[in-house]
Structure 1
């Protein structure tokens, strides 16, 4: 791969030395990595030289938490709390699995939208019931390899019956409905470990940018044996243990009802909180939870938009920041967000925390948000030595934005423009590992028009079948609504309500 030199650009490196302070300079890329950053750099005669005047070069954005399994459900649901929404987006009464071609296209569609909007790394915790299948996981890896994106990939693991992972469920749900939920024998921890080891042997590290992460769905949805086995293997392999914790009030009640403690305390007592542990959501954490997370070195994926759409509440991000907990930004799935744009999440995250109280010194600033979207997200994915900032030796995962567009005019403060004004439309070039994957608004790795046409042709039949599943699962709607009602009216002794973001 020849050298690439970007000259005379405005650089925003997000590294420890320069942080979010832009400066003028050049960046030299060789063999997919950043070889030098400075002024008046010289490349070899065969290098590709890109003029950077009036252009911003910054790290690619990191989507710290998403679910490609929702990509075909954009714009389908609203007005539902999580426990009800799950019935339709992830039906209890399941139908046939999505076929391999649609599985590939579904993953590719998420990658396409991500890349066009400046996301160079995604952490995809997709759902592929009823079993974990190596060939189907390989299909998702292949889609991301073809797109050119960097990704941590896993299919969510669980082995506790749905009704045993929800408070009040066995009491509230009529017996005739409970009898319909026969999922067969639960997966053992040993069986899942065998699967994971096969993935590490065959797919992990593919294309130099695709990794496997271990994703037990949530502590209440997994047996202690499965959680502990997942954590031990994650530590051994140096990958994240990626899980959902305390997204909703119902989940806050779950910990106290089932374990007599918060779910964070439950994980702490099992020994599965560590640097490897990445927690999606963290909305309903207490001060004691935050202290345990900080001591363990956990990371958080803050899903500012999906938490609002599903009425889950607002995570206490300032308190998490004050505890020095690493925070990344996630879109969550396209069904609970309706976009894969981290620019959208940055804007919302930059706004909602300003209602946390009258002490405006504690409000979250644009440079904090941009840190979460870049190096914070990389740390949450355990990729901080690879991506997330522009530094010599790191992968050349970067964006080039036009600073003469409407969204940067007049140009006052680049970081504030990025968080509050930009929507991704100023992006000219996206580069991953030194390869240009988007240029002048066009994907360079795949035929976007052909892929979209194929999706439009194949998807109506799939969505019609899914509509039938929705109709069947509507039988459980009133039960889930009652579980939500009971949980939200239950006092669990917390000092804050997550609808009030607190500080």
Structure 2
């Protein structure tokens, strides 16, 4: 079994008992075998000098639409409904299998190089997405998102496809890939269709994911159509009877926050996308106070426009201070937890990932701290949150395998992906 000994490193563990350890970490196979200030007594290990590097758990992006990276910069500075219905959907309708493949590969490269080791992806052509994730060595929580604004036979076909995908890929790629079921949103899926998707999730024993309460207009529309707000609507349909993760949750009342806490629903906070589409600022301090698990997502590169989770961590630490007038609203360590520990909780994998701890999966990243913005080397957690970025990531490991070495992906041809992604966009934008 492969064994790696990292010596003389600084380890930001995200474990409250010992948040920072200066010393040694040993990886055996796909797990962390040893982590301590003292050097281990082992033989037959490859060694890595950790001086000048800060090691931390891989980041977890809990809401993405990877293949949409082809539409980065295609439509900016529009409100959500215009952006979605007039710009995104017409372009996405032209997507081919090749577009899905190279768009996903582009996103996967960007995420890995910026330190994201696990991500949630909701899209279609998910078999292709899963193949890319498997090849790149990444960890994925994948789901075929379904929009129900279509005739009943098309609804059924989409649902069957989503179920088949969830069955086929759950636990694949050595356990790196897991699956979910996803109605796109309460405003794009009729209630009876959402009920069928929930039933399928129970049958397959998988979690649920959806967009919820992203914009004020969407909440108003829900009240007009169904006589209640999205949280109550989904609750009545039984959505929260499965482990569930909702994206955005920007427009929530106190009662809704209390209900989400009671039902154990996780919320994926997408600060950059919500700011760019002027959807608003989620009530993250209140959610955290109520005991709701709040993780972080980039959303797609079409509404962000990058997939650097360090950006989201920094925004999560900053915007809630600005909005609330309370500089203690989301402290740096809490923001970092949102990108790691809480991300793992949100996708039901907290026993395996999100921390550096003996027995846990070896999903971790190395950051080059020998740079001006990490000096003076005082509060490393503060530096990572307020000064760091994905561009500081040097090495990345998933499941004990090095997938980024010196800033270059080891299992996927970056040059080819960039060229193919450019070609795909040029074809898409011709018509």
State whether TM-score is above 0.5: yes
What corresponds to 1:15 in structure 2?
A: 15
Q: Distance in 2 between matches of 1:419 and 1:17?
A: 20
Q: Could you say what secondary structure the match of 1:221 adopts?
A: coil
Q: Distance in 2 between matches of 1:462 and 1:93?
A: 7
Q: Could you say what secondary structure the match of 1:62 adopts?
A: strand
Q: Distance in 2 between matches of 1:73 and 1:17?
A: 43
What corresponds to 1:149 in structure 2?
A: 138
What is the CA distance between 1:435 and its match in structure 2? Answer: 0.5
Deviations 1:467-493 (A, max 9, x none): xxxxxxxxxxxxxxxxxxxxxxxxxxx
What is the CA distance between 1:453 and its match in structure 2? Answer: 2.2
Contact 1:28 1:43 in 2 (8 A): no
1:104 corresponds, among 87, 95, 101, to: 101
Q: Distance in 1 between matches of 2:390 and 2:97?
A: 31
Q: Distance in 2 between matches of 1:444 and 1:94?
A: 30
What is the CA distance between 1:342 and its match in structure 2? Answer: 0.4
Q: Could you say what secondary structure the match of 1:291 adopts?
A: helix
What corresponds to 1:61 in structure 2?
A: 59
2:78 corresponds, among 80, 84, 98, to: 80
Contact 1:275 1:297 in 2 (8 A): no
Query: Greater strand percent: which structure?
Result: 2
Q: Could you say what secondary structure the match of 2:240 adopts?
A: coil
Larger radius of gyration: 1
2:383 corresponds, among 413, 417, 427, to: 417
What corresponds to 2:222 in structure 1?
A: 255
What is the CA distance between 1:431 and its match in structure 2? Answer: 0.4
Change (3 A) 1:235 1:367: farther
> Does residue 332 of structure 2 align to residue 366 of structure 1?
yes
Q: Could you say what secondary structure the match of 1:273 adopts?
A: helix
2:239 corresponds, among 272, 277, 283, to: 272
What corresponds to 1:239 in structure 2?
A: 206
What is the CA distance between 1:192 and its match in structure 2? Answer: 5.1
What is the CA distance between 1:196 and its match in structure 2? Answer: 3.9
Q: Could you say what secondary structure the match of 2:391 adopts?
A: coil
What is the CA distance between 1:432 and its match in structure 2? Answer: 0.4
TM-score, normalised to structure 2's length? 0.94
2:122 corresponds, among 120, 125, 128, to: 125
1:137 corresponds, among 99, 117, 126, to: 126
What is the CA distance between 1:30 and its match in structure 2? Answer: 1.1
Q: Distance in 2 between matches of 1:25 and 1:92?
A: 53
2:113 corresponds, among 102, 113, 116, to: 116
2:189 corresponds, among 222, 245, 248, to: 222
Change (3 A) 1:219 1:400: same
TM-score, normalised to structure 1's length? 0.81
How do residues 360-399 of structure 1 correspond to structure 2 at under 5 angstroms? 360-361=327-328, 363-399=329-365
How do residues 308-347 of structure 1 correspond to structure 2 at under 5 angstroms? 308-347=275-314
User: How many equivalent residue pairs?
Assistant: 430
Q: Distance in 2 between matches of 1:232 and 1:36?
A: 43
Q: Distance in 1 between matches of 2:91 and 2:68?
A: 17
Contact 2:163 2:181 in 1 (8 A): no
Give ranges in structure 2 of 5+ residues lacking alignment.
none
What corresponds to 2:408 in structure 1?
A: 442
> Does residue 263 of structure 2 align to residue 296 of structure 1?
yes
Q: Distance in 1 between matches of 2:206 and 2:381?
A: 31
Change (3 A) 1:447 1:69: closer
Deviations 1:184-237 (A, max 9, x none): 445456x55543442243222221201221111112322333323333443554
Please identify, of 273-282 and 231-240, the stretch whose mean Cα deviation from structure 2 is larger. 231-240
Contact 1:28 1:41 in 2 (8 A): no
